[in-house]
Chain A
Amino acid sequence: MIDLCRSLPIWLIPALPAAGFVVLAVIGAQLPRRWVAVIGAGSVGGAAAATLCTAFGFLHRTPEMGVIEERLWTWIDVGTLEVGFSLSLDGLSLVMIFVVTFVGFLIHLYSTEYMADDPGYSRFFAYMNLFVAFMLILVLADNLFLLYLGWEGVGLCSYLLIGFWYSDPENGAAARKAFIVTRVGDTAMAVALLLLFKHAGTLDIQDVMAWVSDNWPVGSGMAVAVALLLLGGAVGKSAQLPLQTWLPDAMAGPTPVSALIHAATMVTAGVYLIARTHAIFVLAPVAMTAVAIIGAATLLLAGCSALVQTDIKRVLAYSTISQIGYMFLGLGVGAWSASIFHLMTHAFFKALLFLGAGAVIICLHHEQDIFKMGGLRRRLPAVFWTFLMGSASLAALPLVTAGFFSKDLILWAAWASASTSPWLWAAGAFGAFLTAVYSFRLVFIVFFGDENGHVEHQPGIRIMIPLAVLAVLSIVGGFVETPSYLGDVSFFSDLLAPVFPEVDYAVTSHETEHLLQAVISAITLVGVFLAFLFYVKRPAIPAAIKASPMGAWLYRFWLSGWGFDALYDRLFVRPFVGLTRLLRGDPFDEISSTVGRVTEAGYSVLSETQNGRIRTYAFGIGLGAVIAVAVVVFT
């Protein structure tokens, strides 16, 4: 068994979903739905099985540096640029492929039922499989060029799936917005890659990182520039300030898409990118600080916005932005493995929450407004319990949820790391409070209170299995890394230890750590209690706050995501549209079209002389002769 797993090629993992995509794209429309479901979910399931086997082999073989490399073929070989199509597997990639294939498989399984009535069934699974394949290439890539291929590939799939229901122009607009906004970040990232290639002369991740560490001193201008440009790419993909505006609109896609792409996997690619290129960020303390500040600002901003949203998917979208803000905060203070840990637990509970929300939406016949739901606890008990576990994990209820352990590690690093400030911790702590309030606001409004809305049918088995599995993972997924008083398990950080440098703790006292955990736990519980008070016991209080002038203004401001859309509309969209209107006649085209017009005028004049009348020609000849004689005679 171990031998088989050790010899299992890594390329099989992305190749299976890619093959699924090819089959579905070519003959999917002719296949019966059952077959489409088997191929679509089965290919990702196969990748998940292969991942499990590979992980088994990886953990039982400890190659030097903890990296398995696999060179498939040479992709590009021009001059000094040699890019191989090669994959490498280390602890970080292992965690990522585990999340992508397992969460991806559960979501595919869920989709087979959720999308059952959709006319674009095979198209949906083709796109989803393509997405999984690109995401796996992204996280397994051995060089930055291949990583960029996966990066753009997942962006493409995101575009295709947000605009999946393309007959509604709004969905198309949301898809274009996501594509264009992330393109801003991607441009920065491309520049960073070109700079790295220019200086290091290679794009192989291991070589580049080694070269950078050897050649650029800490704080050197190039390191800071490259780190900030990479950060730009990460910010775009992970929907962080200031490029976060696309993610709430991305909810236009089908709910499983939101779960897979816009919550669990793709949006965390930015976190992966920074973690993967951490050697550059270590050399640029300014960029690290920028990462932390962006994370802290984003988690507060998105947390506030999540408080007032009324669309169940938009609440979750803002909470995703907020949770990725935590990951950025963790990266910024150097807590690499804690961020990846939170990435994993977040993938579990956020996929769960989205799938639960999808189950509610479909059972209420595509109702997304939470105020038209209510009292669903009794009518959808299974969805309620799984959703509650997801929310508990999102709110990081102490000790019993996965989210608690991962978020706590980040917050501890934000307090104790050598490169942090108390303000970052305070932002994280306040964010924890916001998270508790908005996640339980959702639970209380949707599942408690008066019964509201008409439940059409109960979710089937293929929806319930993913919910149950993810609910269990949302609870126990955190026990791979526990604090000292709970067994001090360090499986996760041991796995990532060869990849990342140690966190540079300025404070190491366990007492402080436990005290802070108690503080955060208390804050979380207060938040949950407040949500209970506001949305179950005394619904008049939030209504009164909303009615006051200040409250109404804040409500509108937060509902619109701090007015970023309006700001960007003023700042970029309208000037651009004005400019295009100005240039509609194309002034540069005038130059060439003038040549054309002069020629045309000359033609119309001269063509008059060719009237076919022999006398006119004779007159011309005579006149010419007279002029010629006159010239000879008079000069």
Chain B
Amino acid sequence: MTAEVLLEHGLVVASALFAIGLIGVLVRRNLLFQLLAIEIMLNAAGMAFVIAGARWGEADGQVLFIFILVMAAAEVAVGLALLLRLSHRFRDLDGDAVSTMRG
């Protein structure tokens, strides 16, 4: 298996994961699942970095993946805190139910 084939397959998987995540964000109304879908998208991006790093034999891809992991952890911390507040206030996790904050 050549490096190009590995890259190609890897990117296809990453794109597929990203698309699944995006679709999840767009179609789910439950904020918890939307958060999960965002995690999938982040991991798809991280996977693309790792695959690209492997293709060129560089460690940069893995460094960036660690960055993304850290950012995802921070995002989940903030996101879950917001979710807790929302579920307290609205007794619901439906994202459309909190549309009162529109401009």
Contacts and interface: CB of A to CB of B under 8 A. Distances in A.
Partners in one complex: yes
B28 to A, nearest CB: 8
A577 interface: no
B26 A619 contact: yes
B57 interface: no
A628 interface: no
B26 A612 contact: no
A618 B96 CA distance: 13
Nearest to A614: B95
A615 B103 contact: no
Interface in B88-103: 95-96, 98-103
Interface in A587-635: 607, 610-615, 618-619, 622
A615 to B, nearest CB: 6
Interface residues of B, number: 15
Interface residues on A, range: 10 to 19
A607 B102 CA distance: 9
The binding surface of chain A is classed by DSSP as helix
Interface in B52-103: 95-96, 98-103
A618 B26 contact: yes
A611 B98 CA distance: 10
A612 B101 contact: yes
Contacts, number: 32
A198 B103 CA distance: 62
Contacts of B101: 612
A624 to B, nearest CB: 13
A619 to B, nearest CB: 6
B102 A615 contact: no
A622 B37 CA distance: 14
Nearest to B102: A612
Nearest to B99: A612
29 contacts: A607-B103, A610-B102, A610-B103, A611-B99, A611-B102, A612-B98, A612-B99, A612-B100, A612-B101, A612-B102, A612-B103, A613-B95, A613-B96, A613-B99, A613-B102, A614-B34, A614-B95, A615-B25, A615-B27, A615-B29, A615-B34, A615-B95, A615-B96, A618-B25, A618-B26, A619-B26, A622-B22, A622-B25, A622-B26
Interface of B: 22, 25-27, 29, 31, 34, 95-96, 98-103
3 smallest A-B Cβ distances: which pairs? A612-B102, A612-B99, A610-B103
Interface of A: 607, 610-615, 618-619, 622
